[in-house]
Amino acid sequence: MEVITYKCPNCGGDLTFDPASGKYKCEYCLSSFTQEEAERANPKAAEALNGEDDAAGAQEASDAQKESSTEETKGETEQGEAVVYTCPNCGAEIVTDATTAATYCFYCHNPVVLSGRLSGEYMPDFVLPFKISKEQAIEKFLSFARKKRFIPKDFFEKNQVQKMTGVYFPYWIYGGDFETDYMARGRKVRVWQTGDVEYKETSIYDVRREGEVRVDGLSRNALNKADRDLIECVQPYRLEEMQPFSMGYLSGFQAEKRDIEQAQIAPELKKELETMARGAMRNEANEYLSLEQEKMKLSPKREDWRYVLFPVWTLTYPGKDGKVYYYAMNGQTGTINGDFPFERKKALLTSVVSALFVLIFMLVGGYFS
């Protein structure tokens, strides 16, 4: 598996994607480049993305794989799903699990993309690039956290919030055009009064509605190890800002490869689609007081599955209570989700001080009265 790094064509430094400008920046000479310029300066990345490796390159990769097979097998044996790769910048070993597609070298901090993890059938169709930089994410997170009460002081320390990490999580997006055939029993009630007598008439009708429903943007997380509740609660994303996938967007961030396939989530998504379509058909039959014995048939005219990477800023905090607290922030909109630690001593002290203040106020008030 080829390990790719994006290098600055001016000084050879590392290029990382900058969410604020939407360009690729070099932290050494401060140059910035468009996506086209970055890929032109790093042709191996484009070759890996497009599958354009020539025979010589394939042979070279084969030889390299043979040379490193012992190390990779050792990594898999000792660490389960872990696999060892070599950093092209410093030669150090990079240990990843089975789904990691982009990471950092822990020795030289060089951003690397494991191209084989995102090639062939595992190559995403689109990516939603980060719009919020790490500095902005930290500022937003701290601003949000300061509104909470009784949070431990060390929660706000610089070395704690600097652990915030940008991760691209894999998602499936489902949509399409569907013909609907809806049937139900509708009930209408007519009430009138003649003199002192009130009359009530109930009529039952066979109801049928046919139409078309277009649905776009039904999404599901495609990574088993992800905390689904945590990362899905930072939705929605602005899907209209999706870009065709390019590995350059991953440079400077971590990324995960999907390990959940369409077939595993199709029943769940289609059930959600059916609920939405039934709601639309009910609105078309709103002249009835109630609808019962509903039946509906959905026939797809066009179905669309897209494999997309969504941006999420993540942070963990090891609480003094032994619990690890997890946080997620939408890397595009800034929406935050997560539970915050509660320092009981601080809350108790505040309660005691407040009680003493009230007591003193009452005593002083009684004295002067």
Sign (positive or negative) of CA dihedral 337, 338, 343, 349:
positive
Distance, CA of 156 to CA of 147 (rounded, Å): 12
**What global pTM score does this model have?**
0.76
Q: Do 197 and 270 have their domain in common?
A: yes
Q: Do 270 and 191 have their domain in common?
A: yes
SS (H, E, C) 80-117: CCCEEEECCCCCCEEEECCCEEEEECCCCCCEEEEHHH
Q: What is the pLDDT of residue 156?
A: 81
User: CB pairs under 8 A, 24+ apart, for 105-111?
Assistant: 110/5, 110/14, 111/5, 111/6, 111/14, 111/16, 111/251, 111/252, 111/253
126-140 as b/e: b if 16+ CB within 10 A: bbbbbbbbbebbbeb
Distance, CA of 210 to CA of 296 (rounded, Å): 10
Q: Do 212 and 320 have their domain in common?
A: yes
360 is a domain residue = no
Q: What tokens appear for 133 in the block?
A: 């930089």
Q: Do 118 and 197 have their domain in common?
A: no
How many domains in the chain? 2
Radius of gyration of the chain measured on its C-alpha atoms: 29
Distance, CA of 263 to CA of 269 (rounded, Å): 10
274 is a domain residue = yes
Distance, CA of 39 to CA of 42 (rounded, Å): 5
100 contact partners, CB below 8 Å, separation of at least 6: 114, 117, 254, 255, 256, 257
Q: Do 208 and 292 have their domain in common?
A: yes
Residue owning tokens 């897209």? 306
Residue owning tokens 């003193």? 360
Q: Do 92 and 199 have their domain in common?
A: no
Q: Do 208 and 296 have their domain in common?
A: yes
193 is a domain residue = yes
Number of H-type helices and E-type strands within the chain: 8, 16
Q: Do 186 and 116 have their domain in common?
A: no
C-beta separation of 243 from 127 below 8 A: yes
Q: Do 13 and 96 have their domain in common?
A: yes
Distances (CA, A) of 347 to 153, 219, 341, 350, 355: 13, 40, 12, 5, 12
C-beta separation of 261 from 146 below 8 A: no
Q: What is the pLDDT of residue 264?
A: 95
Burial of residue 58, with CB atoms counted within 10 A of its CB: 0-12 exposed, 13-18 middle, 19 or more buried: exposed
103 is a domain residue = yes
Q: What is the pLDDT of residue 344?
A: 58
144 is a domain residue = no
Q: Do 98 and 244 have their domain in common?
A: no
8 is a domain residue = yes
Q: What tokens appear for 265 in the block?
A: 């989530």
Q: Do 84 and 181 have their domain in common?
A: no
What percentage of the chain's residues is helix, strand, coil (to nearest 5)?
A: 35, 35, 30
- 230 strand-pairing partners: none
12 is a domain residue = yes
3-state SS, residue 142: helix
Q: What tokens appear for 237 in the block?
A: 């994303």
Per-residue pLDDT of the chain (369 residues; tens, 9 = 90+): 567 888 899 998 889 999 989 999 998 899 999 988 988 888 876 666 555 444 333 343 344 344 433 333 334 433 345 677 788 888 877 778 778 888 877 677 778 888 778 878 889 999 999 999 999 999 999 988 888 776 888 788 888 888 899 999 999 999 999 999 999 999 999 999 999 999 999 999 999 999 999 998 899 999 988 777 788 889 999 999 999 998 889 988 999 999 999 999 999 999 999 999 999 999 999 999 999 999 999 999 999 999 999 999 999 888 877 888 889 999 999 999 888 876 656 555 555 556 666 666 666 665 445
CA angle 288, 293, 298 (to 5 degrees): 95
CB atoms within 10 A of CB 5: 18
Distance, CA of 215 to CA of 262 (rounded, Å): 17
Domain that holds residue 237: 165-338
Distance, CA of 9 to CA of 39 (rounded, Å): 10
Domain boundary, last residue among 123, 153, 185: 123
C-beta separation of 105 from 37 below 8 A: no
Q: What tokens appear for 240 in the block?
A: 């209209």
Q: Do 200 and 311 have their domain in common?
A: yes
21 is a domain residue = yes
